[in-house]
Amino acid sequence: MIIHSEKGALVAAREGKAVSKASRDGFVRIRRFTTEDASSLFEAVHESVKQLCRWMVWCNPEYSLEESKSFVWNSERDWDRGERYSFVIEDSRDGSLVGSVGLSSIVLPHRFANLGYWVRTSRTGEGFARAGVLLAARFAFEKLGLERLELIVPVSNEASRRVAERAGAHCEGLLRKRLVLRGKLHDAALYSLLPEDL
């Protein structure tokens, strides 16, 4: 499954065959992880480890290629089970792995999930995170039938909060002591994204 952003439009492709068309000048797409992504994922995380370790519980200063391989393997398994949907955020101009966006903590009876994202340090500020969020949200609403996505962002993570806001998410309030990062409690802003917000 590939979802492609071209000036706000989407192209969904399954097995390499586009099922709808969009305008031409796109550069962001999301797709499932494959085993071939492990090395590129490791490189992106290694480049960004200082920044990612501040905000991501899975990241650590000694992050290894084996951890990337394990993540990719688990991503494929979780996708097939419908438990979690992790996507590569990719620059369609050169095929480079720019970051990741994913849907987790999926609660089908209430039609909501958590949405998380990150972009490698050298590619921040280029619109990849916002586009990745919107593409993953389209997948959640159109393919999974969800009606609500929650983005839980540490209050002090201003860059991620800006991404949520630029994607159209609404801040619903402050969650006190919601996250534990590197052994420290952090307040978090709760954002929601609904189909009508897109």
CB neighbours of 172 closer than 8 A, spacing ≥ 6? 190, 191, 192
- Domain extent at residue 114: 2-147
pLDDT for 26 equals 60
By the 8 A CB rule, do 113 and 84 touch?
no
CA dist 63 and 93 (Å) reads 28
Residue 17's pLDDT band (cuts 50, 70, 90): very low
pLDDT for 79 equals 92
Instruction: Note whether residue 85 is domain-resident.
Output: yes
3-state secondary structure of 90: strand
pLDDT at 11 over 50: no
Angle at CA 16, nearest 5°, toward 24 and 168?
A: 50
pLDDT at 14 over 60: no
pLDDT for 183 equals 84
* Domains contained in the chain, number: 1
Among 9-23, 24-38, 102-116, the range scoring the smallest mean pLDDT is 9-23
* Mean per-residue pLDDT of the chain: 87
Give the CATH number for residue 135: 3.40.630.30
By the 8 A CB rule, do 115 and 137 touch?
yes
By the 8 A CB rule, do 76 and 63 touch?
no
pLDDT at 31 over 70: yes
CA dist 147 and 112 (Å) reads 6
Instruction: Note whether residue 185 is domain-resident.
Output: no
pLDDT at 72 over 70: yes
CB neighbours of 67 closer than 8 A, spacing ≥ 6? 42
Tokens of 197: 């917000």
Residue 185 vs residue 16, higher pLDDT = 185
Instruction: Note whether residue 42 is domain-resident.
Output: yes
Instruction: Note whether residue 60 is domain-resident.
Output: yes
Among 23-32, 61-70, 130-139, 182-191, the range scoring the smallest mean pLDDT is 23-32
Which pairing describes strands 184-193 and 170-181: parallel, antiparallel, or unpaired?
Answer: antiparallel
Residue 23's pLDDT band (cuts 50, 70, 90): very low
Helices (H), 56-194: 65-81, 128-142, 158-166
Mean per-residue pLDDT, 73-86? 94
Instruction: Note whether residue 34 is domain-resident.
Output: yes
Tokens of 5: 């952003």
Instruction: Note whether residue 171 is domain-resident.
Output: no
Count of C-beta atoms within a 10 Å radius of residue 67: 17
Instruction: Note whether residue 52 is domain-resident.
Output: yes
CA dist 122 and 84 (Å) reads 27
Among 15-29, 80-94, 130-144, the range scoring the smallest mean pLDDT is 15-29
pLDDT at 131 over 80: yes
